[in-house]
């Protein structure tokens, strides 16, 4: 949506808006916000709102939040009288200059660079989560809300009312979900988003988690995006769909015969770099317990047909040809994740080499394929040694992320009870 500051100020006045949430994502992908009153909005548009960011990972002590006026959205679960609206914001240094560690701005700038080369991109997400019951004190349990299975309906699917409310809230906010369903695990759910411009898709993903958790709480439930919350059940994935056009023409196809050379090179580029960027796509120790279980990928491979491959190329009539990357989970920072995936694919196009794609297709057994990292510790080591990561993430961002990941790995290795550590560290907080 396109608004002018004057139009937004008029909307705020006419719709009884009393609070404005200025939201942003920290380096780990967690949503943060500062709430201001309507009278402060003109200053926010012109100069930004100062705040103390010293306790926010990936930020400096004093920073500014500058609203992106195109991201105005009313929070539908808040009161109709005294409404609350939200903006996504850019992070600026205290002097008003761009902050290099703001990955939303970094992704925006990268997309603009691709446009200059004739590329246009759309991305979408399919994100899974579990719904758990609360105990008598209102605290989350590990008891799934139902025992339903894949695509079940009521009464086996007891999550459908919460899912419907989530989708309606997302729709009211202009976030465009296109489908939802019960997944394979008990009380496991998925909501599929329409593809959109990458920054918008990342914004949607960040806010989606908050919407799910808020609506679940209103229904007396607890939503968890932990990648593997139940040891003997399916894990929860974040599948990323990506379509790319060069000068208006799609580079991917729905069969080997109509896949362009650029499309093959893009996929090869992602396959080439996937092990180096896995620490950013899967940033918890728990993430690696999902790989190879159920339909989760385990190897660096791709397919037009198989649904357990790392990269799947769907054959869907009426939709633009696209690829689906299936290894990420909802604990990632989507701005960083989308940036690295795109950079890997574009690097592949510029190299003109699609040999990796062809070689992985010709392997006859999994023993000939390279595996994804087996642990967060291994993934961090590979990422640290990667020149590709160094070229595509600012030094401040890399330092902050690796510091966080090292802390997780160290505490996990020292923990006597690894499952208890992960439950305390991730279950309630992701």
Asked if pLDDT for residue 69 goes beyond 80, the answer is yes
Distance (Å, whole) CA 21 – CA 213:
17
Q: What pLDDT does residue 338 have?
A: 98
Asked if pLDDT for residue 428 goes beyond 80, the answer is yes
Span 399-403, average pLDDT: 95
Distance (Å, whole) CA 55 – CA 62:
10
Q: What pLDDT does residue 141 have?
A: 97
Asked if pLDDT for residue 48 goes beyond 60, the answer is yes
C-alpha of 310 from chain center: 17
Q: What pLDDT does residue 357 have?
A: 80
Distance (Å, whole) CA 165 – CA 218:
10
Domains of the chain in start order, with CATH, are: 5-99 (3.10.20.70), 109-427 (3.30.590.10)
Q: CA distances (Å), 428 to each of 128, 130, 229, 270, 419, in order? A: 16, 12, 10, 32, 14
3-state helix, strand and coil shares in percent for the chain, rounded to the nearest 5: 40, 25, 35
Q: What pLDDT does residue 364 have?
A: 53
Q: What pLDDT does residue 1 have?
A: 55
Q: What pLDDT does residue 308 have?
A: 86
Q: What pLDDT does residue 118 have?
A: 97
Q: Please, which residues have CB within 8 angstroms of residue 391's CB and are 6 or more apart in sequence? A: 343
Give the residue with greater pLDDT, 87 vs 79: 87
Distance (Å, whole) CA 407 – CA 172:
39
Q: What confidence category does residue 363 fall into, taking pLDDT thresholds of 50, 70 and 90?
A: low
Q: What pLDDT does residue 159 have?
A: 98
Q: What pLDDT does residue 164 have?
A: 97
At 160, give phi and psi (nearest 5°): -65, -35
Asked if pLDDT for residue 12 goes beyond 60, the answer is yes
DSSP 293: S
Distance (Å, whole) CA 173 – CA 377:
38
Q: Residue 16: left (phi > 0), alpha (psi -120 to 50), or beta?
A: left
Q: What pLDDT does residue 362 have?
A: 58
Q: What pLDDT does residue 314 have?
A: 86
What does the radius of gyration of the chain's CA atoms come to, in whole angstroms? Answer: 21
Is residue 123 classed exposed, middle or buried when 0-12, 13-18 and 19+ CB atoms within 10 A define those classes?
A: buried
Contact 259, 250 (CB under 8 A): no
Q: What confidence category does residue 316 fall into, taking pLDDT thresholds of 50, 70 and 90?
A: confident
Give the pLDDT confidence of 160-185 residue by residue, as tens digits.
999 999 999 999 998 999 999 999 99
Q: CA distances (Å), 172 to each of 177, 184, 265, in order? A: 10, 28, 39
Q: What pLDDT does residue 59 have?
A: 78
Asked which of 112-116, 260-264, 307-311 is least confident by mean pLDDT, the reply is 307-311
**Which residue from 403, 413, 300, 392 is spatially nearest to 339, judged by alpha carbons?**
392
Query: For residue 387, how many other CB atoms are within 10 A of its CB?
Result: 8
Asked if pLDDT for residue 398 goes beyond 70, the answer is yes
Give the pLDDT confidence of 275-305 residue by residue, as tens digits.
999 999 999 999 999 999 999 999 999 988 7
Contact 222, 132 (CB under 8 A): yes
**Which residue from 43, 55, 58, 56 is spatially nearest to 96, judged by alpha carbons?**
43
Span 2-22, average pLDDT: 91
Per the prediction, the chain carries an average pLDDT of 93
Percent of all residues in the chain with a pLDDT value above 70, rounded to a whole number: 98
Distance (Å, whole) CA 317 – CA 254:
9
In the chain, the N- to C-terminal Cα span, in Å, equals 29
Give the pLDDT confidence of 365-384 residue by residue, as tens digits.
677 899 999 999 999 999 99
Q: How many residues does the chain have?
A: 430
Q: What pLDDT does residue 188 have?
A: 98
Span 101-120, average pLDDT: 96
């Amino acid at each position: 949506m396109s608004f002018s500051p004057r139009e937004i100020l008029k909307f705020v006045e006419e719709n009884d808006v009393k609070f404005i949430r200025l939201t942003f994502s920290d380096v780990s992908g967690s949503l943060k916000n500062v709430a201001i009153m309507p009278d402060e909005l003109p200053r926010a548009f012109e100069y930004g709102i100062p705040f103390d960011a010293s306790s926010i990972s990936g930020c400096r002590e004093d920073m500014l939040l500058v609203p992106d006026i195109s991201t105005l959205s009313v929070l539908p679960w808040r009161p109709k009288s005294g409404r609350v609206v939200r903006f996504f914001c850019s992070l600026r240094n205290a002097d008003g200059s761009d902050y290099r560690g703001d990955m939303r701005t970094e992704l925006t700038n990268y997309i603009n660079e691709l446009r200059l080369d004739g590329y246009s991109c759309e991305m979408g997400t399919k994100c899974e989560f579990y719904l758990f019951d609360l105990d008598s004190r209102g605290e989350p349990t590990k008891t799934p809300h139902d025992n339903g299975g894949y695509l079940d309906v009521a009464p086996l699917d007891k999550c459908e009312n919460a899912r419907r409310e989530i989708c309606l809230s997302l729709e009211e906010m202009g976030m465009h979900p296109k489908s939802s369903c019960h997944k394979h695990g008990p009380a496991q759910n998925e909501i599929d988003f329409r593809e959109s411009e990458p920054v918008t898709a990342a914004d949607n993903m960040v806010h989606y988690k908050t919407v799910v958790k808020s609506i679940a709480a209103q229904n007396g439930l607890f939503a968890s995006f932990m990648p593997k919350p139940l040891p003997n059940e399916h894990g929860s994935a974040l599948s990323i769909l990506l379509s790319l056009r060069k000068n208006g023409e799609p580079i991917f196809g729905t069969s080997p015969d109509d896949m362009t050379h650029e499309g093959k090179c893009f996929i090869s580029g992602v396959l080439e770099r996937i092990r180096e960027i896995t620490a950013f796509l899967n940033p918890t120790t728990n993430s690696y317990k999902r790989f190879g279980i159920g339909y989760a990928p385990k190897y660096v491979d791709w397919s037009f047909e198989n649904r357990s491959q790392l990269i799947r190329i769907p054959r869907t009539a009426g939709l633009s040809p696209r690829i689906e990357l299936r290894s990420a989970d909802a604990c990632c920072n989507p701005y960083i994740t989308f940036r690295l995936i795109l950079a890997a694919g574009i690097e592949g196009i510029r190299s003109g080499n699609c040999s990796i794609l062809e070689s992985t297709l010709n392997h006859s057994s999994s023993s000939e394929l390279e595996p994804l990292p087996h642990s967060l510790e291994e993934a961090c080591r590979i990422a640290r040694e990667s020149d590709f990561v160094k070229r595509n993430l600012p030094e401040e961002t890399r330092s902050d992320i690796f510091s966080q990941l090292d802390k997780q790995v160290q505490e996990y290795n020292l923990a006597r009870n690894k499952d208890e550590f992960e439950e305390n560290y991730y279950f309630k907080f992701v």
